[in-house]
A = this chain, B = another copy of it.
Amino acid sequence: MQFKEKTEQINYVYKGKIINVRKDNAILPNGSSAIREMVEHSGGSAVICEKDGKILLVKQFRYPYGEELWEIPAGKLNVGEDPAQTAIRELEEEGGIKAEKVVKLFDVYPTPAYTNEIIRIYRAEGLTETKMHLDEDEFLCAKWIEKDKIKKMISQGKIKDAKTLIALLSVL
């Protein structure tokens, strides 16, 4: 059974720095019209990094929630950047770890009702320590946390970020 919706008209209502917002006219499978609100985002990469029974997490303030969250290192794709390269770059910038390579684990659609963002999750391999180098307006701290401690954090509801939960649940 196919339930395809067709785009009748694309209407931008906001063009911003990290997101654009559209309020499109769509045709539903039954032929009727509907409004579809959606956010355009260029996508990102995230990376799980494991060493000696510990996993690297970063703690970062997230404005929309007004909270600091524990997450795996991650960031937005630069224009034209290969997603694997984004993962390697962000791991070095946020975590101070240089990876020889990354292996894709998941393509994640974070909230498919209204965004087109794709988050690629990778596993880092061939690690060497280097230095963190954050963007000027980026404030975070990185920490290697024991897997047993992370399991506890998850069961206590202390890890809420979707990509991080997916990456951690797949390796714990």
Binding site for B on A (CB under 8 A): 1-5, 13-14, 16-19, 21, 23-24, 26, 28-30, 32, 34-39, 41, 44, 59-65, 68-69, 71, 76, 106-117, 119, 137, 139-141, 157, 160-163, 165-166, 169-170
Contacts and interface: CB of A to CB of B under 8 A. Distances in A.
A137 B32 contact: yes
Contacts of A2: 68
A160 B39 contact: no
A127 to B, nearest CB: 24
Nearest to A108: B162
A59 B2 CA distance: 10
B166 A162 contact: yes
Q: How many monomers of this chain does the complex have?
A: 2
4 cross-chain pairs, A with B, having the tightest CB-CB distances, nearest first: A169-B169, A110-B111, A162-B162, A64-B116
Interface centre among A24, A68, A110, by most chain B C-beta atoms within 10 angstroms, is A110
Nearest to A4: B61
Nearest to A62: B112
Interface centre among A5, A19, A106, A111 (most CB of B within 10 A): A111
26 contacts: A1-B141, A3-B59, A4-B61, A13-B13, A17-B37, A26-B63, A28-B139, A30-B137, A36-B63, A39-B39, A39-B115, A41-B114, A44-B113, A62-B109, A64-B114, A65-B112, A69-B109, A69-B112, A106-B157, A107-B160, A110-B111, A111-B162, A162-B166, A165-B166, A166-B166, A169-B169
A77 B170 CA distance: 29
